Structures are given as structure tokens and as C-alpha cells.
Amino acid sequence: MKRRLVAGVMLGAALLLGGCAESPFRKQSDVANRISPQAMMALQESAAVAYAQGNAPGAIGLYTQLVQSAPNDVQAWHRLGNLELLDEHYAQALLAYEHVLQLGGGNAGVWHNVAVIRLREAQAALNQVQAQAPNPADAQLRANSVRAAQALPQVLALLSPQPAASAPAPATSSGDRP
């Protein structure tokens, strides 16, 4: 009797946890099934126009809708990453670029932008050392962190200040700009 109760509880917990672990992409693909091909094309075109015109807030919203509707669209994820990077939303940009890499769309531009983000994150972390290491025993740690933080702007200056525009341009657009 006790074994059945334990087994029942374990089965219930497994089912409950299985429901919690559902992939967000599964939900997104359900959205893709509900959107018509014409609406998808219109969304892609609107997003490409906003991107080409440099309308970052509008383009971010449209590309966010697009990746929710078409989670395997490498170009949409790449452009979303570029836009988030331009707006200095590093965590969101990194997530978008990671999707590009997971989908097999990684190229030199994506890896370049990932490197820029991680260097900026490293700089922020090194700057935090000053606030988090006030003890005299931490003097060497602070000094090393200061030197490293001072060197990072030089490294970042070697990289382009804008994301590399390497996502392929859509057929309706004359070019691709971050």
C-alpha cells in the first residue's frame, strides 16, 4: 500500500514537472500554426522595412513577433540580436544570437557580436569588483581588476562599434543594416 502511494506521488510529480518543463518553442510553434502565410509575409516585410529604416523600437517589436511566430527563422533571430545590441540590451541580444547559433546560422558576424557582448559584460563585472572588494586584503584584486577594466575599452575599440551586418537581406530589401 505504501509503495503504491509513493509510486503515485512520484508519477504525479513527474507529470506536473513535465508540464512545467514544456518548451517555450512548442508554444511558439502553435502560434505559427495559427498565423496565415499572408500574415507571416506581411510581418516579415514590415519588420524588414523597420530594420532597413533604422526604426529600432518598431523593428524590435516586429522581430519579436516574428520569432514567436517562426522560431526557426535564423534571419529574424539575427536581426533581433543586432537590434537589441544597438539598443544596448545585451542579455536579450545574446539570447537572440544564441538562437542563431543553435539553429546553425552562426557566421563571423554573429560570433563577433557575441564577443562584443561578452567583453562588455566582462567590463561591467570588473567594475563591480571595486564595490564588492573594499577590504585591504583585496587591494591586489582591485588593482588587477582596474587594470583589466582600463584595457577593455581599447579591445572594444578594435571591434566595430556597431553590430556586424551579416544577416542576409530579404528579397524585398535593398540591403541589411544593423
Q: In terms of pTM, does the model score above 0.85?
A: no
Q: Compute the average pLDDT of residues 10-34.
A: 39
When pLDDT is cut at 50, 70 and 90, the band that residue 162 belongs to is: low
Which of 29-43, 94-108, 114-128 is predicted least confidently? Answer: 29-43
Query: Does the pLDDT of residue 65 top 70, yes or no?
Result: yes
What is the Rg, in whole angstroms, of the alpha carbon atoms belonging to the chain?
Answer: 22
Residue 105 CB-half CA count within 13 A: 20
Q: Return d(Cα 171, Cα 29) in angstroms, integer.
A: 24
When pLDDT is cut at 50, 70 and 90, the band that residue 119 belongs to is: very high
CB atoms within 10 A of CB 140: 9
**From the centroid of its chain, how far is CA 22?**
20
| Cβ 116 vs Cβ 163: under 8 Å | yes
Query: Does the pLDDT of residue 97 top 90, yes or no?
Result: yes
How many residues does this entry show for the chain?
178
- The predicted pLDDT at position 137 comes to 83
Q: Return d(Cα 39, Cα 59) in angstroms, integer.
A: 16
Q: Compute the average pLDDT of residues 132-143.
A: 85
Residue among 22, 38, 19 at smallest CA distance from 30: 22
When pLDDT is cut at 50, 70 and 90, the band that residue 160 belongs to is: low
**Is the backbone of residue 83 left (phi > 0), alpha (psi -120 to 50) or beta?**
alpha
